[in-house]
């Protein structure tokens, strides 16, 4: 396929930034179909980087590269600008996460301060808060035990991020294999109990969070039903 046919096709199929100046080439050979498929994959890969592109220059760079002629930038210049853009993007991402973490930490502190005075809510020295919804009379687990539970986890805004109830199947795990808030909170429970746990960021996923589900410094609210100690 001629280069002149490849570029308009890539411009339309991958970037869709302006109407095609001419009808797209027919995909009537295996080479054309393969070329289109490769172009489509390239476009997806480029768009998934989340960088801001000048589509016209993106296509021009592709044209020059495919033509095998002299490029308008040296390799050193291309490497330098690429490194600069990537560095700035990384710095922006780090700043965004730090800002989000600070905001979430403040929200968590404000909530815990108010929640500590709510009816039925108890606090532990670690900062964990919990509320007994149903008090069981069975065995209490220890750190060495494996437990079976049903649970639902929410963010402070009420968004459910995980639920064994929704999956229709309880979960078993060792109490030394989970976040500190769970390790402490479940050991307070007797089999047959259902507790609500209010887990501060430092006892959950902290500054890292658990992208993309749990933002950094998020307070987590769990409903936990202890079914058995194994």
- Which residues, in sequence order, are bridge partners of residue 201? none
Query: Are 128 and 50 members of one domain?
Result: no
15 is an active site residue:
no
64 is an active site residue:
no
The pTM (predicted TM-score) of the whole model is 0.73
Query: Are 135 and 224 members of one domain?
Result: yes
Q: How far is CA 167 from CA 27, 47, 214, in A?
A: 44, 33, 19
28 is an active site residue:
no
Nearest to 20 by CA among 9, 32, 4, 6: 9
For every residue of 99-123, DSSP letters joined together read: HHHHHHHHHHHHHHHHHTTSTTEEE
Q: Which of 48, 67, 86 is the last residue of a domain?
A: 67
Q: Which of 16, 44, 67 is the last residue of a domain?
A: 67
* Residue 23: predicted pLDDT: 64
In the set 162, 173, 176, 199, the catalytic residue is 162
- Helices 3-10, 30-48: crossing angle, 10 deg rounding: 40
pLDDT digits (tens, 9 = 90+) for 120-151: 999 999 999 999 999 999 999 999 999 999 99
In the set 36, 130, 151, 198, the catalytic residue is 151
Specify the number of domains making up the chain: 2
User: Which residues constitute the domain of residue 35?
Assistant: 3-67
198 is an active site residue:
no
- Identify the three-state secondary structure at position 180: helix
Residue with tokens 């210049």: 77
How far is 92 from 86, CA to CA, in rounded Å? 10
Spell out the alpha helix ranges (H) of the chain.
Answer: 3-10, 30-48, 55-67, 75-115, 164-167, 180-187
205 is an active site residue:
yes
pLDDT digits (tens, 9 = 90+) for 173-192: 999 999 999 999 999 999 99
How far is 40 from 58, CA to CA, in rounded Å? 15
How many other C-beta atoms lie within 10 A of the C-beta of residue 77? 11
pLDDT digits (tens, 9 = 90+) for 81-102: 999 999 999 999 999 999 999 9
Asked whether residue 9 carries a pLDDT value surpassing 70, the answer given is no
Query: Are 28 and 103 members of one domain?
Result: no
Query: Are 106 and 149 members of one domain?
Result: yes
In the set 15, 111, 173, 179, the catalytic residue is 179
Whether residue 123 lies inside any domain: the answer is yes
In the set 34, 51, 161, 165, the catalytic residue is 161
Residues near 28 by beta carbon (within 8 Å), at least 6 away in sequence: none
CB 194 within 8 A of CB 224: yes
Query: Are 132 and 223 members of one domain?
Result: yes
179 is an active site residue:
yes
Asked whether residue 21 carries a pLDDT value surpassing 60, the answer given is no
């Amino acid at each position: 396929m001629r280069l002149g046919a490849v570029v308009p096709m890539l411009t339309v199929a991958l970037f869709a930034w302006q109407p095609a100046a001419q009808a797209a080439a027919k995909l009537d050979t295996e080479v054309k179909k393969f070329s289109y498929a490769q172009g489509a994959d390239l476009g997806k890969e480029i768009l998934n980087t989340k960088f801001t592109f000048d589509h016209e220059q993106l296509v021009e760079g592709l044209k020059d590269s495919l033509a095998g002629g002299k490029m308008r930038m040296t390799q050193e210049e291309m490497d330098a600008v690429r490194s600069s853009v990537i560095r700035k993007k990384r710095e922006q991402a780090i700043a965004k996460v730090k800002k989000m973490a600070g905001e979430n930490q403040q929200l968590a502190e404000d909530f815990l301060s108010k929640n500590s005075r709510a009816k039925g809510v108890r606090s532990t020295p670690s900062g964990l808060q919990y509320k007994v919804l149903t008090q069981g009379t069975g065995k209490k687990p220890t750190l060495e035990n494996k437990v079976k539970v049903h649970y639902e986890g929410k963010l402070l805004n009420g968004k459910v991020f995980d639920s064994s109830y929704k999956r229709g199947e309880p979960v078993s795990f060792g109490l030394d294999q989970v976040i500190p808030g769970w390790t402490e909170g479940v050991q307070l429970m007797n089999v047959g109990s259902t507790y609500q746990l209010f887990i501060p960021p430092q006892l959950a996923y902290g500054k890292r969070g658990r992208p993309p589900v749990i933002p950094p410094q998020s307070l987590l609210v769990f409903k936990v039903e202890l079914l058995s100690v194994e």
